[in-house]
Amino acid sequence: MNEVFAYRHLVRQGHRRVKLLAEQGRRVPDLQYFDGGLLRHCEVKTISISDEEISRRSSREVFTNTYLRLSDGFIKKLADTIVKARIQIAAQETSGLVYLLVLLDDIALDYYQDYRRQLAQFTQGNKIDDVHIKFGLRFNRHMRLRHRRAVLAMVFRSRNSHRFAHHLLY
């Protein structure tokens, strides 16, 4: 289902010949599309609520100020997820978009603006490019992570894409 969000996003951005790719016994990106005349791929990943939030919700206790900042665990999960998606895209010898559906612990997104600032700092500090985040299933809140000086598309064409991706994020 989450691939449909990415499909719709790519079409709305004006990309042509967007199509879902079937798994073929190996990991492949979820979508293929053309950006101008260039073939690109899109990998869709979901980051769900934390284990701590699952415990909080099942405990029936009241908690306050737990959502003021994105946790270090979330930031690490985000970085790892982007690396995995980039590797899947690089396996096709193309570049493209990482589309993330993020289900935050803060279900009401009360601190959304703070999260955006924190993610912008993460993006600049880690040279992230071509990542689109959709926050939650019901909200129309999106964010594009783009580092202005990054030129990652060429880096990910290397056979050692995992090593390069890991180096760029840490």
User: d(Cα 165, Cα 90) in Å, to the nearest integer?
Assistant: 10
22 DSSP 8-state letter: P
Percent of the chain scoring above 70 in pLDDT: 84
pLDDT band at residue 147 under the 50/70/90 scheme: low
- Note whether 96 and 43 are within 8 A (CB): yes
**pLDDT at residue 152 tops 50:** no
- Between CA 81 and CA 90 the distance in angstroms is 14
- Which tokens go with 126? 């880690």
Four-point Cα dihedral 126, 84, 48, 8, nearest 10: 90
Q: Would you state the pLDDT for residue 45?
A: 96
The residues facing 131 across adjacent strands are: 98, 145
**What's the pLDDT at 163?**
42
28 φ, ψ (degrees, to nearest 5): -130, 155
Q: Once rounded to an integer, what is the mean pLDDT over residues 89-104? A: 93
- As a whole-number percent, the residues of the chain with pLDDT over 90 amount to 44
Any idea where the domains of the chain sit in the sequence? 43-169
Cβ pair 95, 153 in contact under 8 A:
yes
CA–CA separation, 111 and 67 (whole Å): 7
Q: Return mean pLDDT, the chain.
A: 81
Query: Per-residue pLDDT averaged across 67-86, rounded?
Result: 91
Q: Strand 131-135 and strand 96-102: pairing? A: parallel
The Cα-based distances of 17 to 20, 21, 35, 80, 96 in angstroms read 10, 12, 9, 29, 14
DSSP-assigned letter for residue 68? S
Q: What pLDDT, on the 0 to 100 scale, is given for residue 60?
A: 75
- DSSP alpha helices (H): ranges in the chain? 2-12, 51-59, 72-90, 112-126, 152-155, 161-169
> Mean pLDDT over residues 16-23, rounded?
92
